[in-house]
Amino acid sequence: MPLRKPKILVVDDEADALYSFRRIFERSDYVIIEAQTGRDAIEKARSESPDVILLDLRMPGMDGLAALREIRALDPRTPVILVTAYASTQSTIEAMKAGAFDYVIKPFDVENIRSVVQAAVKVSLDMRQVVSYEPLLSKEKHEEEIVGSSEPMQEVYKLIGRLANSDLPVLITGESGTGKELVARAVYHHSRRKHRPFLAVNCAAIPENLLEGELFGYHKGAFTGATAAKPGKFEVCDGGTIFLDEIAEMPASTQGKLLRVLETGEIEKLGSTRATKVDVRVLAATNKNLTDLIEAGKFRQDLYYRLRVVEIPLPPLRERLSDIPTLVRYFLDRHAPEFGHKRVTVDEAAMAVLMRHNYPGNVRELENLLKNSLLRLKGNVIRAEDLDLGRPAAQPADTMAADQTLRLADDSIFDALFDEIARRQPLPEGYDAFDVVERRLIHRALQYWKGNQSKAAKFLGITRNTLRKRVKKYGLRIEPNVVEEQD
């Protein structure tokens, strides 16, 4: 979670366009800076180090494409989002090839532009917020740390250190919430590719039939819905590092293509038979047991061997209880300000409870538990009764329920929503957090299926009628290819 406001540089020669951007983002947690020419954009990209750049392609004088090339040369990590009237024009295609992160189409679709910007900010912060792993050495508050000096964690640090000068693929394994994503970013930040791009792709979050296109790109017309050519993550990330999270969820055909990249450095776009060379280092993570999946015929053994040249296994929190006090201190310092607290401590009894718990959701569970206490805390000391462990740790939980707590504790989308709801405390009259979830989900599904209600309803497992009612309730307006919010 960013501790400073991300900075967005918006470049457009038209004052009207700049005005709409400002309106779309004015109430959000971003700092907006503006430029009206390509030259000015390059200057500001240099002097202001924005986290994300929104760049109009058509401008008098130096056009967006030329500006993009210079900005990329300055720092290839800054995600640049193109603003264009048509996705399929030659200049947009050229710009995507030149390494643009994504594009948005004019006139703006508010929700879409927000989500593209949000994704780009995440990518940018992943690269800029350095994850350090020497416990407690870095006092820099804005940077992230892998905390814990227990013996199993020391082994993890040693491995990250040993990898610093290598381009080998790395497989990060461990239960949910043990810090795999954090470690992947630390590997990147301590590698010789740290000045090159880093992209995380969550294989479980992208529908199976689209993952391949996302990763390797596609040509126009390669499948229904491919209205314009798009480069894949591997191309966008050329020279850098790609992090394939939840790799166990990758469908078999995509696994085959990934194996090919690892073996030959070549990708093949959908709708093409020509191979393109890319130079990308692959990091992967999973909380599944891949050998079980291989036995079940769900994961390719050859790919497994390629990926696990180096494996970093992360120990579950219950096997490194000695890290708990340091983690507690770290999370309290990190999150107290968000909830309007200064320095918060835990008393002895609370610490004893924390040390006794067995953490099926690992470090994430501990972090959420503390955030939850901070949210409700009066004063500045957390006592045992302020800790909501869900169910007593000592009681044998029935598996089904335990499974469900785990799933909830797991899901980072819930973390984001939880934070959002926490920020709005006390909630305005009539605010229902469940509506927020539902609305987002429906919007996302409609956007994904390009406004096709039947497909979106089927995808969500609800009837078209239910969908229609919700669409009305939340004031979502649907047109083919466009989903807009109605103000």
Ligand X SMILES: Nc1ncnc2c1ncn2[C@@H]1O[C@H](COP(=O)(O)OP(=O)(O)OP(=O)(O)O)[C@@H](O)[C@H]1O
**Residues in contact with ligand X, shown as a per-residue x/- string from 403 to 422 under the rule CB under 6 A:** -------x------------
> Least CB distance from residue 155 to ligand X, whole Å?
13
Beta-strand relationship, 281-286 and 310-313? unpaired
Residue 104 pairs in a beta bridge with: 83
Q: What residues between 174 and 193 interact with ligand X by CB under 6 A?
A: 174, 176-182
Q: Is 175 near Mg ion (CB under 5 A)?
A: no
Q: Contact, 56 vs 11, CB < 8 A? A: yes
**Residues in contact with ligand X, shown as a per-residue x/- string from 293 to 332 under the rule CB under 6 A:** -------------------------------------x--
State the amino acid at position 77 in one-letter form: R
Side-chain half-sphere of 174: how many Cα atoms within 13 Å? 26
Q: What residues between 359 and 388 interact with ligand X by CB under 6 A?
A: 363-364, 367
Selected from 13, 40, 181, 249, the binder of Mg ion by CB under 5 A is 181
Task: Select from Mg ion, ligand X, none the partner in contact with residue 84, using the beta carbon and a kind-dependent cut-off of 5 to 8 Å.
Answer: none
State the amino acid at position 300 in one-letter form: R
Query: Of all residues in this chain, which one has the CB nearest to Mg ion in the complex?
Result: 181
Q: Is 249 near Mg ion (CB under 5 A)?
A: no
Q: What residues between 214 and 273 interact with ligand X by CB under 6 A?
A: none
Q: Which two tokens stand for residue 58?
A: 């058509």
Q: Which is nearer to ligand X, 77 or 180 (CB)?
A: 180
Q: Which is nearer to ligand X, 357 or 364 (CB)?
A: 364
d(CA 247, CA 152): 24
Preceding peptide of 426 cis, ω within 30°: yes
> Least CB distance from residue 119 to ligand X, whole Å?
17
Task: Select from ligand X, Mg ion, none the partner in contact with residue 197, using the beta carbon and a kind-dependent cut-off of 5 to 8 Å.
Answer: none
Query: Of all residues in this chain, which one has the CB nearest to ligand X in the complex?
Result: 179
> Least CB distance from residue 481 to ligand X, whole Å?
33
Side-chain half-sphere of 4: how many Cα atoms within 13 Å? 15
Q: Is 365 near Mg ion (CB under 5 A)?
A: no
> Least CB distance from residue 272 to Mg ion, whole Å?
32
Q: Which two tokens stand for residue 442?
A: 């429906």
SS3 percent helix, strand, coil of the chain, rounded to 5, is 50, 15, 35
d(CA 477, CA 487): 10
> Least CB distance from residue 334 to ligand X, whole Å?
9
Selected from 6, 64, 148, 232, the binder of ligand X by CB under 6 A is 148
> Least CB distance from residue 195 to ligand X, whole Å?
23
Q: Which two tokens stand for residue 324?
A: 């708990």
The piece of 146-154, 227-235, 269-277, 294-302 that touches ligand X (CB under 6 A) is: 146-154
String of DSSP letters for 205-220: TS-HHHHHHHHHEE-T
d(CA 319, CA 289): 18
Residue 380: C-alpha distances to residues 22, 326, 332, 428, 451 (Å): 38, 18, 11, 26, 49
Which of left, alpha, beta for 293 (phi over 0: left; psi -120 to 50: alpha)? alpha
Q: Which is nearer to ligand X, 8 or 199 (CB)?
A: 199
d(CA 247, CA 235): 19
Q: Is 135 near ligand X (CB under 6 A)?
A: no
Q: Which is nearer to ligand X, 84 or 124 (CB)?
A: 124
What is the contact surface with ligand X in residues (CB under 6 A)?
145-148, 174, 176-182, 287, 330, 363-364, 367, 410
What is the contact surface with Mg ion in residues (CB under 5 A)?
181
